[in-house]
Amino acid sequence: MNYLNLKQFFLLWLTLFLSILASRDVFAKDPFAVKRAKMIEIIEAEVRTGYGNLAKKKLDENVIRALNTVPRHEFVPKKLQHSAYDNRPLPIGHGQTISQPYIVAIMTNLLHVGKNDSILEIGTGSGYQIAVLAELVSKAYSIEIIEPLGKEAQARLQRLGYDNITLKIGDGYYGWEEHAPFDAIIVTAAASHIPPPLIKQLKPGGRMLIPVGSRFMVQELLLVEKSKEGKVRTQQLLPVAFVPLTGKH
């Protein structure tokens, strides 16, 4: 081996060594980084094969970045953290679940939100979905009807530094008129119908995603679009399974 080849070999070895050290450093800071990357890989594969009436077969890069940023393991009970990045829903207490990562990804993707947008979520749960959305918008609002769950989510999101999320305990069926209109609305519990207050609070040109159906029947994820003129159009996207929307309505 001549001097030039030896130098090239040394530089290659040094680059590889530094890369390994960097990877170990990242893993030490975030031991779930590898699992999160694998979760995103699985989601992207499912999106490519697709099913239902989904127009896009590829996730937006900003959505991928958000999924890779939000520490999903922080939003599940500690005893389930080892399963946080599995592509399936998990129980979070009070009879509620954290949605399957694939569903979170495609619902986020379908909303087409931007950095200057304001969004409303109905059904905070553990706070994971609104945390993902908060990575993409300027203002995120969320309503949770189960008080202990809402308080836990609020404390969690504050601890994780999400200062653009505003939560309240209440019946999400009626929306949040004080902060309306919203560029997008997402409902993470199945309703028997589309709540009229939410349609009213959706900004012209805005989008809403809502699962409609009962617990024991087929639920359909609906895309609700309001035109610039205020006309409303709905489209069935795919069958889903969500916990029911509760309240006095």
Domain boundaries of the chain, sorted by first residue: 12-240
Q: Is 23 a catalytic residue?
A: no
Tens of pLDDT along the chain (249 residues) come to 554 466 666 666 656 655 554 444 444 567 899 999 999 999 999 998 876 667 567 899 999 999 999 999 999 999 999 999 999 999 999 999 999 999 999 999 999 999 999 999 999 999 999 999 999 999 999 999 999 999 999 999 999 999 999 999 999 999 999 999 999 999 999 999 999 999 999 999 999 999 999 777 789 999 999 999 999 999 999 999 899 898 876
Strand segments (E) across 35-129: 90-93, 96-98, 118-122
Residue type, 195: P
Three-class DSSP category at 185 = strand
Of the residues 19, 83, 99, 138, only one is catalytic, namely: 99
The contacts of residue 225 (CB under 8 Å, 6+ apart) are 206, 207, 208, 232, 233, 234, 235
Contact, 245 vs 190, CB < 8 A? yes
Interior angle at CA 114, CA 46 and CA 176, nearest 5:
100
Supply the Cα-derived Rg of the chain in whole angstroms.
Answer: 21
Measured CA to CA, the distance from residue 140 to residue 166 in angstroms comes to: 6
Burial classification of residue 78, based on how many CB atoms lie within 10 Å of its CB (0-12 exposed, 13-18 middle, 19 or more buried): exposed
pTM of the prediction?
0.86
**Residue of 164, 171, 109, 115 whose CA lies nearest to 139:** 164
Q: For the purposes of burial, counting CB atoms within 10 Å of the CB of 225, is it exposed (0-12), middle (13-18) or buried (19 or more)? A: middle
Angle, in degrees to the nearest 10, between helices 61-69 and 101-111: 140
Q: What does the chain come to in residues? A: 249
12-240: what fold? Rossmann fold (3.40.50)
3 state DSSP class of 211: strand
End-to-end CA distance of the chain: 80
Closest CA to 130 of 98, 159, 178: 98
